[in-house]
Amino acid sequence: MFYEPKLNNHGLKRDPWKALVVPRPIGWISSISKDGVCNLAPYSFFNAMSSHPHYVLFGSGGKKDSVRNIEETGEFVCSLATWELRYHMNTTSADVPPGVDEFSLSGLTTAPSCLVRPPRVKESPVALECKYWKTIELPDEDGNGSGHFVVFGRVVGIYIDDRFIKDGLVDTTSMRPIARLGYMDYSVVTPETQFTIFRPKVDEEGNLIDVPKAAE
């Protein structure tokens, strides 16, 4: 099948877009309002964008509490959503009034950050402390504002639970991070689903000289 997103002429029960770009890391964003109220919300359009310096971004349909808080205070934290915390993460997606603290709502614990004011999720094995850079509103097909925003943050501090550092490396799969699929579906990374492939090598003329192959 083929369809045009602008026409939405896929003929399926639901738009398949979010079921195609998968799996997507979950940006579990904590922020503080200018009045001092904590906010915690998951964003399924999220990823890391560079390594030096470290930047992350997340997309929001509308200027939700997280976006407003970050623009007003200039800081946020992204905690890793894991299999163990999947129901807590889902609870923080509830559409509640701005004055509601999702940490309390979901039964999670705040832990102080080192370089920014918003707290991290204490139960999470990883947290990225971020300074706000900018917000970009994505244009629609006609070049007008779409009401969809991308928020960029520079990572200034990183917390890692020492239990998941083994032989000088982070044991990511043991954390069992979860990812967003389409519809109401999610996935989980486990040690059993991890695999390693080394990059191919080339000679000075650009010819492949060592191409990793699957095990027989």
Which residues neighbour 4 within 8 Å (Cβ) at sequence distance 6 or greater?
Answer: none
Which residues neighbour 177 within 8 Å (Cβ) at sequence distance 6 or greater?
Answer: 25, 80, 81, 82, 83, 188, 189
pLDDT single digits (tens) 147-187: 999 999 999 999 999 999 999 999 999 999 999 999 999 99
Q: What is the pLDDT of residue 63?
A: 93
Residue range 17-210, CATH number: 2.30.110.10
The span from the CA of 29 to the CA of 75, in Å, is 10
pTM of the model: 0.93
The span from the CA of 74 to the CA of 188, in Å, is 31
